[in-house]
Structures are given as C-alpha cells and as structure tokens.
Amino acid sequence: MPEVRHDEALGRYELETEHGLAIAVYRQQGDRLVFTHTEVPPADEGRGIGSQLVRAALDDGRKRGFKIVPACSFVVAFVRRHPEYDDARNQEA
C-alpha cells in the first residue's frame, strides 16, 4: 500500500492512488493543525483511502507536537468514530 506523504510547502498530506491523488489539507495555527479539506478521487471513494490518509496525517501531526483541529466534515466524522484523536475533548478530561 502506498505511503502518505507530507507536503509542508503546500500544507497538505497526500496519498497516491490508482486513480489520482488523495489529499488532506491543513492550516497551521500556532500549536494546532486545522484540517480544512479532504479529497479522494471519485473512483476511490468508499475504499478506506480517506481514512488511511487522515489517520496518517493526524498521527504525523501529533508526532510533530501539534494538536488536531477537525474543520472539514470528513475529518470531523473520522474523529467522532475515533475519539482518541479528539484533542479538544481529551484536554477537558
């Protein structure tokens, strides 16, 4: 399976698929990465590509010391399904 790449200059994570490029776009705000857009080639939708991409992006962001802020609907839904990535809720605990 291809690896997720981080393109810091473009502010996004990328995953090359059979049908094109899947991306998770973020904006850095201090110690936070605000994920604003996720896109998967239409032919790859429903195959887990988006989840693989977002999981790798969130893991990398955290490894680099950032808090995760989901702002796009896909990342919001992913974090709801995987509450261990909910940095806002985990800070309150």
Q: For 46-89, how does the pLDDT look when each residue is reduced to its tens digit (9 = 90+)?
A: 999 999 999 999 999 999 999 999 999 999 999 999 999 887 66
Q: For 2-28, how does the pLDDT look when each residue is reduced to its tens digit (9 = 90+)?
A: 799 999 999 999 999 999 999 999 999
Strands of the 12-17 sheet, one edge to the other: 5-7, 12-17, 20-29, 32-39, 67-70
Which domain covers residue 75, as residue numbers? 5-87
**Any domain includes 59:** yes
The token pair that represents 21 in the structure block: 């490029």
Would you state the pLDDT for residue 93?
Answer: 44
The CATH number linked to 53 is 3.40.630.30
**Any domain includes 66:** yes
Would you state the pLDDT for residue 87?
Answer: 76
- Total number of domains in the chain: 1
Would you state the pLDDT for residue 86?
Answer: 84
Query: Is the model's pTM score more than 0.85?
Result: yes
Residue 19 CA to residue 41 CA, distance in Å, equals 6
Q: For 27-57, how does the pLDDT look when each residue is reduced to its tens digit (9 = 90+)?
A: 999 999 999 999 999 999 999 999 999 999 9
Residue 91 CA to residue 66 CA, distance in Å, equals 13
Would you state the pLDDT for residue 17?
Answer: 95
Would you state the pLDDT for residue 70?
Answer: 95
